[in-house]
Amino acid sequence: MKLTLTQTLPTLQAKKLLKKQSPKDSHCLVVLVDNELNLIASDTLKTHKDRINQLIEVAHFKGTVAETLADYALTESKNNPIQLLIVGIGKANNLTASNLQKIGKAIYQSMSKRVDAITVALGKALTDDQFAQFANGLLNASYRFNKYKSESQAPVLEKISVLASKDYQATLDFANAVYSGQTMTRNVANEPGNVCYPEYMADQAERLAATYPNLLKVRVVNQKQMEELGMNCFLSVAKGSDREGKLVILEYHGKSKFTTQDGKKAKKQKAEDAPIALVGKGVTFDTGGISLKPGAGMGDMKFDMGGSASVLGTIKALCEAKLPINVVAALALAENMPSARATRPGDIVKSMSGQTVEILNTDAEGRLVLCDTLTYIQRYKPKTIVDAATLTGACVIALGNVRSAVFSNDEDLLFALQNASEQAGDAIWHMPLDDEYQTQLDSPIADMQNIGGREAGSVTAACFLSRFIEEGQAWAHLDIAGTAWISGKQKEATGRPVPLFMQYLKNASKA
């Protein structure tokens, strides 16, 4: 599904939009109204303005955020039904990303099941950033994952259009690219653990590279190669499963060829050609290992690969948007299972960096696959590294499902991520990384332990990762445990932080 932009003469436009493609089709015209009952894009809706105002008056419509009023007032005949959907936007000067997403969701929830195409009359009411946020919200509201429903029907919608008198085309093209990436992220994350395991994710990456051969190259590091590299922290997680762990490296060459695929350290290269690195935790199912999780809610642990899913989706979006930038991405893929081969609490392993780790809790496994992956990705000598991981339950307690936590050792990178967050409407919150927290990781018999106790759990997890970042390397860690998926009966992946990543990369490509 893609969003299209329609721009023609205002008075004629409404008539053209309401012409039917075939008698069986039904169209929906969406009209936005603020809390002062002003019609957004009123010039575009001139033909139907009187009828719309009558409906607003008789229904006592207030124009509050996501309030809806549906009618078939514009129907010309019983064989040509046209749904009119009036949607409130609240204060016109307070169109936040959250409100725009609520508006997009309200449009879909209030749409007739007979509708297969919608047009939103928008005019020139939004800034480019607001339009991108609205487009993203509208597209994501249409997402459905129903491949396993035996009586699933084809998607109702075939076409989404926005009627605007301002040129949003470039912004819309980018929004469509972001949505394509979010859709891939959500699709792989929503798959059950018996379908989505490390090899499956590696296959998805290779198929993506085959689709965009001029932009993308993929290499898969298997467990034998990891042993040779000394990635024992990663292997301490992967070895408990019958499914072999995989480290998938994706090189997006949007600007120039920045290195070879031999896995060796990057040769001397121009500073401007150095890639930005994205790293994703990909624990395709997390039982907790020997430190077994409680049974209640364990089904949600199929989403514990949300970081790698978002990185894979970002690469898909990059290929669609064709941003002129170099990016290297790593998917750290493993299944955390209890078995006779699984790591025991109290085991000590040596990381690829040479540091030793006392593993006190095998359910703190994400940081173990990430630490070796972070060491590996620094071979590329990247400008910056940003990792994304569903890392800690402590982060969910701290920030809920509204904001992702961000930890960083570099002020410029932190500012760039915060700026991108505001533009994309993909909210983050800066968390501390003070040295005083590091002492919680001290071990009497190894260089460190993999947990730091109950206090500041998300902070000590970030502190653990920071120990594997070389001095001078700009790095940020996103804990997306509360934002990568929605729990409950309607559980599903959100596709975050693909919008944040893409906005950050778009800004960086212009720097």
Burial status of residue 126 (CB atoms within 10 A of its CB: 0-12, 13-18, 19 or more): buried
Q: How far apart are CA 81 and CA 72, in angstroms?
A: 7
Query: Is 308 within 8 Å of 257 (Cβ atoms)?
Result: no
Q: Kindly report the CA angle at 145 between 142 and 149, in degrees rounded to 5?
A: 125
Q: How far apart are CA 382 and CA 486, in angstroms?
A: 33
Structure token digits, residue 203: 């296959």
Q: How far apart are CA 220 and CA 233, in angstroms?
A: 18
Catalytic annotation, pick one of 293, 322, 350, 467? 293
Q: What is the DSSP letter of 294?
A: P
What residues contact 90, with CB distance under 8 A and at least 6 apart? 34, 35, 63, 64, 65, 99
Please give the radius of gyration of the chain, using alpha carbons only, rounded to the nearest integer: 25
Return the bridge partners of 247, or none.
Answer: 221, 332
Please give the single-letter amino acid code of residue 313: G
Query: Is 466 within 8 Å of 434 (Cβ atoms)?
Result: no
Crossing angle of the two packed helices 411-424 and 498-510, in degrees rounded to 10: 120
Q: What is the dihedral of CA 316, 319, 324, 330, to 10 degrees?
A: 40
Helices (H) and strands (E) in the chain, counts: 14, 19
Phi and psi torsions of 235, nearest 5° = -65, -25
* Closest alpha carbon to 484 in 410, 405, 430: 405
Q: Is 15 a catalytic residue?
A: no
Q: Kindly report the CA angle at 272 between 266 and 276, in degrees rounded to 5?
A: 65
Q: Count the alpha carbons within 13 Å of 286 in the hemisphere toward its beta carbon.
A: 26
Q: How far apart are CA 27 and CA 498, in angstroms?
A: 31
3-state secondary structure of 350: strand
Catalytic annotation, pick one of 102, 281, 367, 383? 367
Q: How far apart are CA 94 and CA 81, in angstroms?
A: 34
Q: Is 510 a catalytic residue?
A: no
Structure token digits, residue 265: 């350290």
Query: Is 284 within 8 Å of 305 (Cβ atoms)?
Result: yes
Distances (CA, A) of 36 to 62, 115, 345: 8, 29, 62
3-state secondary structure of 333: strand
Strand 27-34 and strand 68-71: the pairing is: unpaired
Catalytic residue IDs: 293, 367
